[in-house]
C-alpha cells in the first residue's frame, strides 16, 4: 500500500471510488472538484493505492486559519482495516507541517457511522451550523 499525491491517471478510478462510497452528489461535479483542487495545494490531495489502483482518497486544504478534510473515501471492500485512519493521519501530518492548528470537516448529519469514525479519531462536534453559498454552479 502506498499513500501518494493524486496523479492525473487516477481520475476515472477516483471518481468511481467516490461514487461507490456515496460521496458524489448532483450539485458537485467531481471532475471540477478535482480540477479545482489541482489548482490549489495539489500535494494535499492524497490517494492510497495498491498495485497503482486507488483504494482510498483524502483531499485536504489549509488557508492559514483552519485545515479542512474533504473526500475521505475508502473502497467498500477495504473498510475496517485502518485505511481511513491512515488517510486522515497522512492529511494531519501534512497540515501540521504547514502550521495548521485545527482541522474542520463536514459530515452529513444523518451519516452516523462516519460521525462515529471521526469521533474515534478525536474529532468533536463544534456545535456549529455549516452554511454554504455556491458561487459557481456545477450543473
Domain ranges of the chain: 2-120
The pLDDT of residue 28: 84
pTM of the entire predicted model: 0.92
Q: Identify the CA nearest to 58 among candidates 116, 105, 115, 12.
A: 105
Q: Dihedral through CA 106, CA 27, CA 12, CA 32, nearest 10? A: -90
The pLDDT of residue 26: 81
The pLDDT of residue 27: 83
The pLDDT of residue 25: 85
- Judge whether 95 and 132 are in contact, CB under 8 Å: no
The pLDDT of residue 108: 87
Which CATH superfamily, name and number, covers 2-120? Answer: Gcn5-related N-acetyltransferase (GNAT) (3.40.630.30)
The pLDDT of residue 138: 83
- Judge whether 27 and 139 are in contact, CB under 8 Å: yes
- Taking the chain (139 residues) in runs of 10, the rounded mean pLDDT of each run is 96 96 88 96 97 96 96 94 96 98 93 94 93 87
The pLDDT of residue 134: 87
The pLDDT of residue 137: 85
Amino acid at each position: 500500500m502506498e499513500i501518494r499525491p493524486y496523479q492525473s491517471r487516477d481520475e476515472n478510478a477516483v471518481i468511481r471510488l467516490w461514487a461507490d462510497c456515496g460521496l458524489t452528489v448532483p450539485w458537485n461535479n467531481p471532475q471540477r472538484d478535482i480540477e479545482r483542487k489541482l489548482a490549489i495545494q495539489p500535494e494535499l490531495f492524497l490517494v492510497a493505492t495498491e498495485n497503482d489502483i486507488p483504494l482510498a482518497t483524502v483531499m485536504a486544504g489549509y488557508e492559514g486559519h483552519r485545515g479542512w478534510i474533504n473526500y475521505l473515501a475508502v473502497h467498500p471492500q477495504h473498510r475496517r482495516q485502518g485505511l481511513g485512519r491512515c488517510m486522515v493521519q497522512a492529511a494531519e501530518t501534512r497540515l501540521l507541517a504547514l502550521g495548521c492548528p485545527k482541522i474542520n470537516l463536514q459530515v452529513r448529519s444523518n451519516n452516523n457511522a462516519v460521525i462515529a469514525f471521526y469521533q474515534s479519531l478525536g474529532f468533536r462536534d463544534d456545535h456549529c451550523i455549516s452554511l454554504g453559498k455556491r458561487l459557481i454552479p456545477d450543473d
